[in-house]
Amino acid sequence: MTEFDQGVAVAARPDDEAVFDARLGEGWQIGAGVNGGLLLAVMGNALRTRFADDGHPDPVAVSAYYLSASRPGPAVLRTEVLRRGRSMGTGQVSLVQEQDGRPVERVRALATYGDLGGLPDDVRTTATPPDMPPPEQCISKDLAPPDFMERASFLNRLDLRLDPACVGWAVGDPSGRGLLQGWLRMADGREPDPLLMLLAADALPPVTFDLGMLGWTPTLELSVHVRANPAPGWLAVTHRTRNYAGGLLEEDAEVWDSTGRLVAQSRQLARAPR
Amino acid sequence: MTEFDQGVAVAARPDDEAVFDARLGEGWQIGAGVNGGLLLAVMGNALRTRFADDGHPDPVAVSAYYLSASRPGPAVLRTEVLRRGRSMGTGQVSLVQEQDGRPVERVRALATYGDLGGLPDDVRTTATPPDMPPPEQCISKDLAPPDFMERASFLNRLDLRLDPACVGWAVGDPSGRGLLQGWLRMADGREPDPLLMLLAADALPPVTFDLGMLGWTPTLELSVHVRANPAPGWLAVTHRTRNYAGGLLEEDAEVWDSTGRLVAQSRQLARAPR
């Protein structure tokens, strides 16, 4: 089993098909918490089992509100089916952890599931893939300072190569454009699929690095649209912000597959580093 | 009371502060349904009362999943507080209508509330306001065909002036850029506030008109970020799409106030017209 599939594994309770148990791995940490994209993928994995029998196995739209910081360890996922439709289904999922002896909700999400493989094949996308050097000419995370890597264990699960034009912040010279981009694949070779898009949309460093702010940017809300089954191979990922104001910013991500198709788009509202 | 304030009015039940009654007005219809932005504003109005006493009266992020088409008439709003924080609170709200004698959920939303007036005043927005002629040189809805207006009563609540460069579709010559923009204010002079942003984000015709598809584009998911208290006066609103594929499209909206500040951003996933 791959690291990602282990990371998102859930077990339905025998007495209640709506409730799942999971264990958030220590290998997915960022700072003291668990990577928000991995949390979304765990939640997405639980909810997808509720729609798989309807022929709607793929997350198409997922919107998550982050309530408190998740920690490595056991987690319970409570799901609710809101609507079973002909072409899509919509549900809700909540991730809860025990803290000081009582259940504390970490994330709540709404999501719509469908069959990406069954969508019509008309594509009239005007967006264009990111312009950046090939992966072998990009900056590997192996160049990151060891104390940063220690606090971001989830980066060890990834093979992440950042566009050299977007890493000026690492040497005190951020571009100020509000753009980060790079190549992404899983370190153990696990190929992308719709569920992995939920991780890919929140896997790069925060775009605020490119504005010269190297602190932590907690996510308030993250919505991901998965628009196609990604092809095997490298993913090209961009993060942009255009509206940094009032201590908050939006971060828009695009995920492009190896055939040059825009397979996922996401937007989050995050708190700027203090 | 203004038309908008009447349209979003809710009454808490004396025996349960979490449940509200509302009436969806016939003046807010689009086709057989009720405008999705107005629904979001009704839901946002119910949920805000749960956070007003915390000093968090403003919707900051709202994500709604549309489950079935709402009809004019009575509606019940069920709210749930998920988290009360120091600077923000997060909750859930569901809009339900009776249909054939049983309750049917129309929309479910998650939302975070805060105090937009209390945010720090640093603004480093790189996005730029739309480039279009002043309202008096734009195209009023009064030029729309009467049979279209009949099916879109909610347009009578608005003073909407579309950029002439974006209305080629009205004469069979859409630009194909995937861009619609115009000026918006309420017909009765009601000034904008954060709640009105939830309507403004979904008030223009669908951006697919500019791709030559004049049909209905039902919203699957709509997320709105309200980023500042809008100043009085005209709002400039843009709708863009860059990824039309597989029968679905994203529609990104920006709302700019009369001082040139980007006060709201939204993204929706919609079904393309058949």
A69 touches chain B (CB under 8 A): no
B193 touches chain A (CB under 8 A): no
Q: Name every chain A residue with its beta carbon within 8 A of the beta carbon of B262.
A: 243, 245
pTM for the predicted model, two decimal places:
0.97
pLDDT at A108: 98
User: Mapping DSSP to helix (H, G, I), strand (E, B) and coil, where does residue B146 land?
Assistant: helix
Asked if B108's CB is within 8 angstroms of A108's CB, the reply is no
* pLDDT exceeds 80 at position B149: no
Asked if B262's CB is within 8 angstroms of A246's CB, the reply is no
Strand partners, B270: B219, B249
Q: Name every chain B residue with its beta carbon within 8 A of the beta carbon of A67.
A: 82-83, 90
Q: pLDDT band at residue B173, thresholds of 50, 70 and 90?
A: very high
Question: DSSP secondary structure string, B49-65?
Answer: HHHGGGT--EEEEEEEE
A128 exposure class (CB count in 10 Å sphere: 0-12, 13-18, 19+):
exposed
Q: Name every chain B residue with its beta carbon within 8 A of the beta carbon of A58.
A: none
Asked if B269's CB is within 8 angstroms of A60's CB, the reply is yes
What percentage of chain B carries pLDDT values higher than 70?
100
B185 touches chain A (CB under 8 A): no
Round the average pLDDT of chain B to a whole number and report it.
95
What percentage of chain B carries pLDDT values higher than 90?
90
> What whole-number distance in Å separates Cα of residue A225 and Cα of residue B245?
12
pLDDT at A170: 87
Phi, psi (degrees; rounded to nearest 5) at B76 = -115, 135
What number is the average pLDDT over the span B106-112? 98
pLDDT at B142: 75
Q: Name every chain A residue with its beta carbon within 8 A of the beta carbon of B208.
A: none
B175 touches chain A (CB under 8 A): no
Tokens standing for residue B253 = 């909206």
Sign of CA dihedral A161, A164, A167, A171: positive
pLDDT at A151: 82
A271 touches chain B (CB under 8 A): no
Q: Name every chain B residue with its beta carbon within 8 A of the beta carbon of A262.
A: 243, 245
Q: Name every chain A residue with its beta carbon within 8 A of the beta carbon of B223.
A: 63, 221, 223, 267
ipTM comes to 0.96
User: Mapping DSSP to helix (H, G, I), strand (E, B) and coil, where does residue B27 land?
Assistant: helix
Determine the distance in angstroms separating the CA of B19 from the nearest CA of chain A, rounded to an integer: 19
Q: A108-118 b/e with 16+ CB inside 10 Å = b? A: bbbbbbbbbee
B191 touches chain A (CB under 8 A): no
pLDDT digits 0-9 by tens, B213-257: 988 899 999 999 999 999 999 999 999 999 999 999 999 999 999
A6 touches chain B (CB under 8 A): no
Tokens standing for residue B151 = 């099916």
User: How large is the greatest C-alpha to C-alpha distance in chain A, in angstroms?
Assistant: 56
* pLDDT exceeds 80 at position B258: yes
A125 touches chain B (CB under 8 A): yes
B245 touches chain A (CB under 8 A): yes
Q: A22 CB contacts (<8 Å, ≥6 apart)? A: A8, A9, A10, A11, A42, A46, A74, A75, A76, A77
Q: Render each residue's pLDDT in chain A as its tens digit; 274 residues.
A: 999 999 999 999 999 999 999 999 999 999 889 999 999 999 999 999 999 999 999 999 999 999 999 999 999 999 999 999 999 999 999 999 999 999 999 999 999 999 999 999 899 999 999 999 999 999 997 777 777 777 889 999 999 999 999 999 988 999 999 999 999 999 999 999 999 999 999 999 999 999 999 888 999 999 999 999 999 999 999 999 999 999 999 999 999 999 999 999 999 999 998 7
Q: A49 CB contacts (<8 Å, ≥6 apart)? A: A10, A12, A20
User: Mapping DSSP to helix (H, G, I), strand (E, B) and coil, where does residue A149 land?
Assistant: helix
Asked if B228's CB is within 8 angstroms of A250's CB, the reply is no
pLDDT at B31: 84
pLDDT at A6: 98
Q: Residue B169 — left, alpha, or beta (φ > 0 → left; ψ -120 to 50 → alpha)?
A: alpha
pLDDT digits 0-9 by tens, B45-93: 999 999 999 999 999 999 999 999 999 999 999 999 999 999 999 999 9
Q: pLDDT band at residue B152, thresholds of 50, 70 and 90?
A: confident
pLDDT at B43: 98
Asked if A247's CB is within 8 angstroms of B122's CB, the reply is yes
pLDDT at A11: 98
A53 touches chain B (CB under 8 A): no
Report which of A34, A8, A2 is spatially closest to residue A203, judged by C-alpha positions. A34
pLDDT at A106: 98
Alpha carbon B253 to chain centroid, angstroms = 10
pLDDT at A142: 75
Phi, psi (degrees; rounded to nearest 5) at A173 = -135, 65
Q: Name every chain B residue with its beta carbon within 8 A of the beta carbon of A83.
A: 67-68, 105
Asked if A228's CB is within 8 angstroms of B250's CB, the reply is no
A240 touches chain B (CB under 8 A): no
pLDDT at A267: 98
A274 exposure class (CB count in 10 Å sphere: 0-12, 13-18, 19+):
exposed
Q: Name every chain B residue with its beta carbon within 8 A of the beta carbon of A246.
A: 116, 119-123, 227-228
Determine the distance in angstroms separating the CA of B3 from the nearest CA of chain A, rounded to an integer: 31
Q: How many CB atoms lie within 10 A of CB A272?
A: 22
* pLDDT exceeds 80 at position B145: no
